[in-house]
Amino acid sequence: MKKFKVYIVFSIIFIFIINMLMTGCAPEEEIKIKKINNFYKTNYKCEIDDKITIETTISGDNIQFSDISLHLSDKTAFDVDYNIVEGYVYYTFTVVFIAKKSGKYNFYISNLDNSISSNTVNIEVLENPNQEDNSPSQNEPNQPSNPEPDSSEKTETKPTPNTPSETSIIVYTTPTGKKYHYNKSCAGKNAIQSTKEKAVNIGLTPCKKCC
């Protein structure tokens, strides 16, 4: 009987130790994005220079804009800016498109490894009929495809150097880091290019090593 009691006690201690080892050594899984809700409206039409603001919600923890990939069918078709703001229940993701060229495009958003994604939104950009500029018309058949550059008229007009504002300063962030870096290598291999304005907006602070 005494032997049996000792056996029970040792068994309990053994199970306790195994349990501690398993929970203690398991890497803490950080699921940042749990769900990306679908965009409510999926078809947009606009003209060149029009601005479209499209919004959806994302649930998860500690999500930053660098955790989101925006998959746009033609990256040259829009000026794109996006932002994520933490709310009470979920994050609000807002993306602003400014149309630059006509055509049919689509986009969706996902997490970084593309395992969680939204539905696809289509944007059709129509040629602005009122746009009367002096650029050569596309419909003119006799237009030489490669006009000779008029070297005599060439005047080197250098653009006035504007002082870099907060919006244009390139910084590097990481999916999990709380700092932003001027130096890409300092940010590490997960470095994501961003702007200082965005980094500051989401509460990142400058890296003490490189900023």
- C-alpha to C-alpha distance for 172 and 190, rounded to whole angstroms: 9
Kindly state whether residue 169 participates in binding Zn ion, applying the rule CB under 5 A.
no
Q: Which span (2-10, 12-20, 145-153, 184-192) binds Zn ion, by CB under 5 A?
A: 184-192
Q: Can you tell me which residue has the tokens 């290019």?
A: 193
Q: Which span (27-35, 94-102, 107-115, 186-194) binds Zn ion, by CB under 5 A?
A: 186-194
Considering only residues 52, 80, 96, 186, which one is a binding residue for Zn ion as defined by CB under 5 A? 186
Kindly state whether residue 209 participates in binding Zn ion, applying the rule CB under 5 A.
yes
Q: Hey, what are 167's tokens?
A: 């919006």
Kindly state whether residue 104 participates in binding Zn ion, applying the rule CB under 5 A.
no
Q: Using alpha carbons, list the distances in angstroms from residue 180 to 168, 202, 203.
A: 14, 11, 10
Residue nearest to Zn ion (CB): 207
- C-alpha to C-alpha distance for 123 and 39, rounded to whole angstroms: 13
Whichever of 46 and 179 has its CB closer to Zn ion, that residue is: 179
Q: Which span (14-22, 90-98, 154-162, 202-210) binds Zn ion, by CB under 5 A?
A: 202-210
Kindly state whether residue 207 participates in binding Zn ion, applying the rule CB under 5 A.
yes
Nearest partner of 211 among 197, 198, 190, 196, judged by Cα: 196
Considering only residues 181, 192, 199, 202, which one is a binding residue for Zn ion as defined by CB under 5 A? 181
- Maximal C-alpha separation, the chain: 109
- C-alpha to C-alpha distance for 136 and 13, rounded to whole angstroms: 84
Kindly state whether residue 200 participates in binding Zn ion, applying the rule CB under 5 A.
no
Residues binding Zn ion (CB under 5 A): 181, 186, 207, 209-210
